[in-house]
Amino acid sequence: MKLFGTDGVRGKAGEFLDSFLAMRLAMAAGIYFKDKSITNNILVGKDTRRSGYMIENAIVSGLTSIGYNVIQIGPMPTPAIAFLTEDMRCDAGIMISASHNPYYDNGIKFFDAHGNKLNEDIEKKIEEIYFDDKLIQDSKINMDKIGQAKRIDDVIGRYIVSIKNSFPKDLTLKSLRVVLDVAHGAAYKVAPTVFRELGAEVIVINDKPNGLNINENCGALHPSNLATEVVKFRADVGFAFDGDADRLVVVDEKGEVAHGDSLLGVLALYLKEQGKLNSSVVATIMSNGALREFLNKHKISLETCSVGDKYVLEKLRSIGGNFGGEQSGHIIFSDYAKTGDGLIAALQFSALMLSKKKTASMILGQIKPYPQLLTNLKISEKKDLEEIKGLKELKKDLESKNINYLFRYSGTENLIRLLLESKDSKFLEKEMKNVANFFKKALNG
């Protein structure tokens, strides 16, 4: 059984991700980090899901059973865990969240002592430890060697200070009216506090988490409600976060939801104009062709990587870059954060509006993304794409019609994800039917 997907371990809480798996996984991770231990402390945070209580207690039990001390900080955004793990000199950080998923799912994400997400090699080592019964058994300790756990409620201030430090000192948000959709999630306290302290007039929606309403018809995956509120309150801009606040969706003053690649493009140009863009921008293989054209027009190069913000981070580190992201809203300013941070991205876009003295729609309107169609197709087996008969001919046919394509398997489910993109949308639906039928026959028999 494979535990780790594209972003930690994730699944239905109480079924795949039950208390037994969480406890044993925490033990396995603790055993791995023990070899590199400096403080013997591990930080644990969570979002607002009810199942977080179950999983948190199981993780604490697993870590203390092998001698680790645990610092519990309660509901906080994922990027806050990355920041605080390093800031508080912990050996590792653990975030309990399924990000944008419904409340009934949950997940466990790990960070190393520097606040970086773990690479696949480390995840593989933790999986190997997880399935090693003897090593797990031998790592249990007793008596005074058992670890301790303590809850700290005032670390939110440290994260708020770090977030505010990303905002230009010569600017204030006093002239902006902002609507924040915090998705009944981990940012429900932090986001309004940051924007108010920087002077904005703030209207907050979906800030009453009850453990079961996280991401429910709200937040980054459902920005239409935010769009309505932006127009209703005549706000300058709206920002929607997901359940753990590591992604951002922007709504302009007209109630139009910004395309993720448009947001990436204008923020990259803003960094370049300030002389703060270190190298190429990094985006995933799903990025829109219009993003590359916009960046190239402004003499900014683009490099691509696999889907997942941890792959964006790995690519940025390998090229010495400091900006990148995903069209889904994970935007990484690595000068300010170790992972995608919706709050930092929202503040940077606010700074862009203020410094240019332009509306959100004027700024975002600089990029017109090409039409894309995405289909997730259930399959019975994952054959090597290179060996599928007729696929080369299908690709050549799409290329002859100037249609860009991306075919990739899901990392955690029996799905193939089919993406088509063209400057002319009228061909896409017909071509997607052909492509979907091709893969149905090839992968389902």
Active site residues: 99
φ and ψ at residue 6, rounded to 5 degrees: -70, -20
Give residue 276's Cα distance to chain centre.
Answer: 23
The answer to whether 57 and 146 are in contact (CB under 8 A) is no
**What single letter denotes the amino acid at residue 57?**
N
Give the 3-state secondary structure of residue 313: helix
- Retrieve residue 433's tokens: 């039917």
Q: Which of 105, 189, 202, 201 is nearest to 155 (CA)?
A: 189
- Retrieve residue 195's tokens: 């924007």
Q: Is 35 one of the annotated binding-site residues?
A: no
Helix or strand run (H / E) with residue 353: helix 342-356
Other Cβ atoms less than 10 A from the Cβ of 67: the count is 18
Strands 281-284 and 323-325: parallel
Strands 415-421 and 404-409: antiparallel
Could you give the angle at the alpha carbon of 244 between the alpha carbons of 242 and 249, nearest 5°? 25
Give the 3-state secondary structure of residue 398: helix
Give the 3-state secondary structure of residue 108: strand
Q: Which of 316, 193, 235, 334 is nearest to 276 (CA)?
A: 334
Q: Which of 316, 319, 202, 329 is nearest to 259 (CA)?
A: 329
CB hemisphere CA count around 330 (13 angstroms): 24
The answer to whether 176 and 167 are in contact (CB under 8 A) is no
Handedness of CA 157, 159, 165, 166 (dihedral sign): negative
- Retrieve residue 113's tokens: 């002592």
Instruction: Name the burial class of residue 132, with classes exposed (0-12), middle (13-18) and buried (19+) by CB atoms within 10 angstroms of its CB.
Output: middle
Q: Is 246 one of the annotated binding-site residues?
A: yes
The answer to whether 388 and 405 are in contact (CB under 8 A) is no
Strands 302-305 and 281-284: parallel
Other Cβ atoms less than 10 A from the Cβ of 31: the count is 21
CB hemisphere CA count around 226 (13 angstroms): 33
Helix or strand run (H / E) with residue 86: helix 78-87
Annotated binding site: 99, 242, 244, 246
Annotated binding site for Mg(2+): 99, 242, 244, 246
